[in-house]
Structures are given as C-alpha cells and as structure tokens.
Structure 1
Amino acid sequence: MGPKHWVSWFAMSIAYLLSFLPWSAQQGIGKYLGRFLHLLAKRRRHICDVNLQICYPTMTSKERQVLTKSHFESMGIGTIETFSSWFQPQSRFQSRITFEGQDVVDKVLAEGRGCILISGHFSPLDICGSQMPRFMDVHPIYKLQTNPVMNWVMERQRKAIFSKTIERTNMREVLKSLKQNKAVWYAVDQDYGRKNSVFAPFYGRQAATIAHIGRIAKMTNAPVVLYDYGRTKTGYYLKLTEVENYPSSDDVENATRINELMQSVIETKKEQYFWSHRRFKTQEIAGSPSPYDK
C-alpha cells in the first residue's frame, strides 16, 4: 500500500471499471488499445516480426505487418478480457462459452491418476481459463509476477476460481494434485531457459522446450490432454483432446510432440498467439547471438 505502488493501484482501478462494460464494448476498446500498443511497443513489434520470419519464412513483409497488427489488436482485447476475469463473476460469460470434451474429462479421470492439461499462450488465456473449473477441477501452474499489486490481484482472483494453484517450481504439489485425481494445467510453449529444457523443433527451428511434461506423465502414468481454446466472433470455445501414445522414453521426442501439438492449435488462430514473446531466446549453442538482437 506504499506510495511506490499507488500508480499500480490506480491502474487496477481503471481495470476494475473497464470490466463492467458490455462485452461488445470491451472488444472494441481492446482492439483500439492493441493498436495504440502497436504504435508504442517498438521492441515487442520487433520480437513479433522476428518470430514470424522464423516460423513463416515464405510470408512476405506486408503479410507479417498485417499479422503483427492483428496480433496486437488481439492482445489488447485479451487485456480487457483479463480484467473481466479478475473482477466479474464467471457466470457473466457462461452463455458465450462452447465446451467440447466432457467425454474426455470423464474418461481420463475415471482412471484415477489425474491428468496433465497442456496448452499454449493465447490472448484469451485468462477469460477461457477461468471457465475451466465449470467442467473439471483444474490446478493451474503459474509464475509469480514482478509487480506485487498485479500479483496480489491475480492470486486473489485465481484462489476464488480454482480450488488450488501451484507455483511452477513446486513439483511436490503437482504430484500431490495428480495423486488426488485432479487436473494440473501447464502452458508449455514458452522458453524457460537451458536448465529446464531440451531442444526440439518448433516451426522448423530448434527451441528450448520444457522436458518435464513427459517425465511427469511417465512417473505418474497420468494421461495428457491437449487444451485448445480461443476467441470467436460471439464468444469463446474450449476443447479437450486426449494425447494418445504419450509419453515415449525420449525427452526430445516428447518435446517434439508437444511442439507439434502447439503448432496445430496456433494455425487455427494465428493472431491470438503470443508472438511478441521471445520463444527462441535460448540458443541451442550456448553463446550464440539471439535472433532478437538488432
């Protein structure tokens, strides 16, 4: 509550007020917020363009520019959606949710070993994630935020929605949740550094990919379920699909499978993906220059 955090609390107040706007108004404001950020965030624009050059080498400069702008618009909308997920009752959005996969939930949990949900980072992450407890008891893995005000608000919201959240380094709680036949949710498409990763192809480029999904699945025999979600013109969809014949005994093979699954869900909604994150920041050969260095 000290003075150094007053700006953050003021920002949270604005976020709180925006969360009360009608859904269509939030979508429009979010789009313009994204366009504004597109103009200001030069570094993020560069990261996005580099990622698109790597992942879509045949895409023209003009096509990359169009997709980059659409990406920022989607991220702006996602920001407003996050505010709604923090400050509004989840029942407000139920009519806009389409869910596919109750048969998958019933099947994997009937085995009594819990399950591991895997997903990517897309702009409607928070609004879609907040709806998952309607269909299964999900324990999301999260990373602490550097801003203590945002971290407090985020944790408060998640504790109100989820029966349990797990800080990403707390493996003991992950295993405990699986033993209790709960779903543990990992977002598996970001670069967490050399120590926690193996290198596997992502859109044809070697990328640091977390290795412990396959290891946990092998250790616990917990089934792995792909969680696909996204924004539509009228709301959101959530879809669960069991990953068959996983894991193998090889970490790189498992990571390659994970990346292939991520590519399959990205292709249906490219603009919603987090292209402005440095997916390729860790190089396969230590000391090699980052592709994001100008």
Structure 2
Amino acid sequence: MMQQQEKKKTDKGSLGGHLGVAFMHVLAPLPLPVLRALGWGVGQVLYVLAAQRRKIALRNLELCFPQVPPRQRRRWARESFVAFCQTWLDRSWLWFGPRALVERRVQLQGAVQELEGDTPTIIFAPHFYGMDAGGLALPLRTSRAFTSIFSTHPNPAIDAWLRAGRQRFGDVRMLNRADGVKPIIANLRQGGLLYLLPDMDFGAKDSVFVPFYGVPAATVPSLSRFARLGRAKVVGMFTRITPEGYVAELTPAWPNFPSEDVEADTAEMNRRLQSYIDTMPGQYYWVHRRFKTRPPGEPPVYE
C-alpha cells in the first residue's frame, strides 16, 4: 500500500513536471517585456507568500549589510524574489527559443580573450540569478569542451529539462557531484573549461570557514583545489539581468591563484564574490541559508 501511494505521488510529480515544461514551450515566443512583467508580478506575490524564504533572505542581508538601512535591505530582498521569477521564466526562450534570439539577448563582455587558446580554465560563476544565461553565453562563443557540475532536481521531468537546456549549445557535459573529480580534472588538463559554482553552504564536510562579508561561512575550497590539480587559471564571471536580456561579464585571470594556501585562496574567492555582489545586491541568491553551518560552539543564525 505504501509503495502504491509513493508511486502515485511520484507519478503526480512527474506529470506536474511535464506540464511545467510544456508551459515553458508556450511562454518561449512571448516578447521579453511581457515575460519580465509576468515574472515581476509573480515575484511580488512570492515575496509575500514564501515567508520562510523571505526571512532567510532578510537575515542574510542583515548579516552581510548591517550598516545598510532595513528599508534598503527589504528592497534588495524583494528584488531578489523578482529576479528569481523573471530568470525562471526566461529559461523558456533560453532553452526553447531560436539560437539567433538567444545570441541577441545574451551578451558576453569583458576579458573574452581569456577564452582563447587551450589553457585549462575555470570560470568562477557565483549564484547570481542569471547564471544559466551566462552558462549559455560561453558555449555560444567558444568551441572548447565545457564541463559543469549541478545538483540533480528531485523531479525527473524538470531535471531532464534543466540538463537538456544547459547542454543545448556547444560541447557541454553536465556532471553530478557524485561523479567525482576525475572527469573534471581530465577535461581541464585536455584544455577544457570548467563552469564552477562553489559559493553555497554544502555542510561542514570538506569545507573551511572563511569570512563572507565578515561572517564565518562554511565554504568548499574546490576552486583552489581544481585549479591546482587541473593546472588551470581562474576567471570570474558574473551575469547581470538587463531589460534587453543578460550581460555576462568576464574578468581577467586572477593573478597568483591558486597559491599554496587553500584556505587563503578560498577567502580570496569570497572577497572577489563580495565585489561582484556589491554591484547588484538584488540579483544574488539570498534565499539560500548561506550560514546554516556554524563553526564549533557558535549558535545558529537562523531562527
């Protein structure tokens, strides 16, 4: 009986996922201003209804920007919810729209020369809401092999849609965290690109505590370790939502990175991330409990 109930629940979830993907097909041809207006409206509603996530976002902003007036922090939190909804709906045309449309709406700027040649390269791509658009900007404009690591979505239909969309253009290989580091390092040493998003709290295991806006944050030191193992340079990339679509900005390769000190490298990564966030606080993924893992003896920061 329990197995039958579990199967029915799975079937309903899968059906919902398929319907959601079909709805994205319907949205894809809509003009961008219409999609953005729809995302703005849904984001405003979600900000009110998703109370737990709203509290997390506000608490993160309070910890990271204690000197900023509460009214501004609330404004950034609301912007974050709107950006989440707008970028989610934008995946309709990103993954179903014509290639020419995507190329027109998704721009790649900055130190694009860092993609030339075959030097092993890691793209540090933090969790700004435009990260999937940035992920498409790279294979659209380079033929180099491209590897990225993403967590599996619990809904099989949504997971398949996410994977297919992210691998839509170019030579892209999506890896699960369970796949280990060997395929990642192999691709780097063969002159490939790695699109890495190591700025979330993945727990105490294999993490180091380094400051993030002055607050000790459990941070995986994978950027430093992959750079060393793959003999790779590191380039930052942050993707900004614009009225016309997205702009992905590449930074010059980081000097003297990696060093011999993994913890110092990871602290440097967070410092650079802060400089990116400061340019667009409302577009960062504040709904994640970034400080859920605390150093030994320290109390939790979320109620």
Do the two structures share a fold, i.e. TM-score over 0.5?
Answer: yes
Contact 2:44/2:81 (8 A) holds in 1: yes
Deviation at 1:232?
Answer: 1.9
Deviation at 1:25?
Answer: 0.8
Q: Deviations over 1:258-293 (max 9, x none)?
A: 00111111111111100111111111116x442122
Report the 3-state secondary structure (helix = DSSP H, G, I; strand = E; otherwise coil) of the residue aligned with 1:157: helix
Deviation at 1:3?
Answer: 4.2
Find the counterpart in structure 2 of residue 272 from structure 1: 283
1:292 & 1:223 partners in 2: Cα distance? 36
Report the 3-state secondary structure (helix = DSSP H, G, I; strand = E; otherwise coil) of the residue aligned with 1:195: coil
2:114 & 2:36 partners in 1: Cα distance? 31
2:97 is the alignment partner of 1:88: yes
Deviation at 1:235?
Answer: 2.6
2:130 is the alignment partner of 1:124: yes
Report the 3-state secondary structure (helix = DSSP H, G, I; strand = E; otherwise coil) of the residue aligned with 1:246: coil
Contact 2:135/2:166 (8 A) holds in 1: no
Find the counterpart in structure 1 of residue 75 from structure 2: 66
| Structure 1 consecutive aligned stretches of length 4 or more whose deviation exceeds 3 Å | 1-4
1:117-156 maps to which residues of 2 (within 5 A)?
117-136=123-142, 137=144, 138-156=146-164
Contact 1:102/1:135 (8 A) holds in 2: no
Q: Deviations over 1:152-199 (max 9, x none)?
A: 111222333242222234211101111221101101211111112111
Find the counterpart in structure 1 of residue 239 from structure 2: 229
1:146 & 1:152 partners in 2: Cα distance? 10
Deviation at 1:219?
Answer: 2.3
1:181-196 maps to which residues of 2 (within 5 A)?
181-196=191-206
Report the 3-state secondary structure (helix = DSSP H, G, I; strand = E; otherwise coil) of the residue aligned with 1:47: helix
Find the counterpart in structure 1 of residue 7 from structure 2: none
Contact 2:132/2:166 (8 A) holds in 1: no
Contact 2:131/2:238 (8 A) holds in 1: no
2:137 & 2:220 partners in 1: Cα distance? 26
Percent identity over the alignment is: 27
1:1-294 maps to which residues of 2 (within 5 A)?
2-100=11-109, 101-106=111-116, 110=117, 112-136=118-142, 137=144, 138-163=146-171, 164-169=173-178, 170-241=180-251, 242-285=253-296, 288-293=298-303
Report the 3-state secondary structure (helix = DSSP H, G, I; strand = E; otherwise coil) of the residue aligned with 1:229: strand
1:212 & 1:250 partners in 2: Cα distance? 13
- Output the amino acid matched with 1:120: P
2:127 & 2:181 partners in 1: Cα distance? 21
TM-score, normalization by structure 2 = 0.89
Q: Deviations over 1:35-83 (max 9, x none)?
A: 1111110000000010001000112222222221111111111111123
RMSD between aligned residues: 1.7
Report the 3-state secondary structure (helix = DSSP H, G, I; strand = E; otherwise coil) of the residue aligned with 2:250: strand
Gaps of 5+ in 1: none
- Output the amino acid matched with 1:182: G
TM-score, normalization by structure 1 = 0.92
- With over 3 angstroms needed to count, the CA separation of the structure-2 counterparts of 1:53 and 1:27, relative to structure 1, is same
1:36 & 1:260 partners in 2: Cα distance? 33
Report the 3-state secondary structure (helix = DSSP H, G, I; strand = E; otherwise coil) of the residue aligned with 1:54: helix
Contact 1:81/1:124 (8 A) holds in 2: no
After TM superposition, the structure 1 stretch with the greater mean CA deviation from structure 2, 170-179 or 235-244, is 235-244
